[in-house]
């Protein structure tokens, strides 16, 4: 998987206004966000061909519905990620496949820090392995929330936009989930 074009710098607000008037002006938004959205979907699906198909649907839906987009103070990319999340979920529902979260050590360490679970190096590795088992056992919607926050490094504001909830609600859901994991598993 190789991306030829780097992310381009454009003013999202101006470009969105142009795209609302003329769909041909959607191209720069596509070029700016394609790589991030593609990688987000690829982490969920793990298959390059399927990811390409789903990514194409995401941008097609975004372009066709650009008139409905409202600036709510979060990046335009958050709106695209919400569409991508819905398309990935639809793919899993249609294909009866399971949801996959790519787990990186840095995300585990951040998550453990938020849960205030730590220890010496040997104990930390044991805790990471236990946390991986926990993540494999929790509900897919909970796994997705954890993935967005700790493995995709999204802000609560971006998560709120994806789930169409308030930023405070996104934060509360995340911390309640972490408390439940800590209480039930550690």
Give the tens place of pLDDT for each residue, 18-50: 999 999 999 999 999 999 999 989 988 888 999
Q: Tokens 């070029």 sit at which residue? A: 31
On whether both 122 and 64 belong to a single domain, the answer is no
Domain of 16: which CATH number?
1.10.1740.10
Q: Among 48, 75, 95, where does a domain finish?
A: 95
Scored b (16 or more CB within 10 A) or e, 78-111 reads bbbbbbbbebbeebbeeeeeebbbebeeebbbeb
Per-residue pLDDT at 43: 84
Structurally, the chain folds into a number of domains equal to 2
For the chain, give percent helix, strand, coil, nearest 5.
75, 0, 25
Per-residue pLDDT at 143: 85
Distance separating alpha carbons of residues 135 and 102, to the nearest angstrom: 10
In a domain, 37, yes or no: yes
On whether both 32 and 75 belong to a single domain, the answer is yes
Tell me the average pLDDT across 100-107: 66
Number of neighbouring beta carbons within 10 Å of residue 67: 9
* Beta carbons of 106 and 131 less than 8 angstroms apart: no
On whether both 139 and 89 belong to a single domain, the answer is no
Domain of 128: which CATH number?
1.20.140.160
Q: Specify burial of residue 156 (Cβ count, 10 A radius: 0-12, 13-18, 19+).
A: buried
On whether both 73 and 49 belong to a single domain, the answer is yes
Distance separating alpha carbons of residues 129 and 140, to the nearest angstrom: 19
In a domain, 144, yes or no: yes
Whether residue 107 is predicted with pLDDT greater than 80 in this model: the reply is no
On whether both 90 and 117 belong to a single domain, the answer is no
Per-residue pLDDT at 154: 87
Domain that holds residue 119: 105-185
Give the tens place of pLDDT for each residue, 47-64: 899 999 999 999 999 999
In a domain, 2, yes or no: no
Question: What mean pLDDT is reported for the chain?
Answer: 85
Q: Specify burial of residue 154 (Cβ count, 10 A radius: 0-12, 13-18, 19+).
A: buried
Per-residue pLDDT at 147: 85
Give the tens place of pLDDT for each residue, 154-173: 899 989 888 888 999 999 99
Per-residue pLDDT at 99: 54
The answer to pTM > 0.85 is no
In a domain, 149, yes or no: yes
On whether both 139 and 85 belong to a single domain, the answer is no
Degrees to nearest 5, angle at CA 110 with 114 and 83 = 100
On whether both 84 and 127 belong to a single domain, the answer is no
**Sorting pLDDT into bands at 50, 70 and 90, what band is 112?**
confident
In a domain, 4, yes or no: no
**Sorting pLDDT into bands at 50, 70 and 90, what band is 108?**
confident
């Amino acid at each position: 998987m190789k991306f030829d074009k780097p992310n381009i710098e454009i003013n999202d607000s101006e470009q969105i206004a142009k795209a609302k008037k003329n769909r041909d002006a959607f191209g720069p938004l596509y070029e700016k966000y394609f790589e991030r959205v593609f990688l987000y979907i690829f982490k969920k699906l793990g298959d390059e061909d399927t990811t390409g198909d789903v990514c194409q649907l995401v941008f097609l839906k975004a372009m066709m519905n650009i008139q409905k987009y409202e600036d709510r103070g979060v990046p335009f990319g958050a709106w695209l990620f919400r569409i991508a999340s819905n398309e990935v979920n639809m793919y899993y529902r249609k294909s009866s496949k399971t949801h996959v979260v790519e787990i990186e050590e840095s995300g585990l360490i951040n998550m453990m820090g938020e849960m205030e679970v730590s220890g010496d190096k040997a104990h930390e590795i044991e805790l990471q392995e236990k946390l991986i088992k926990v993540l494999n056992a929790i509900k897919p919607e909970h796994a997705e929330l954890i993935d967005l926050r700790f493995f995709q490094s999204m802000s609560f504001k971006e998560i709120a936009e994806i789930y169409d909830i308030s930023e405070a609600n996104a934060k509360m859901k995340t911390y309640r989930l972490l408390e439940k994991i800590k209480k039930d598993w550690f």
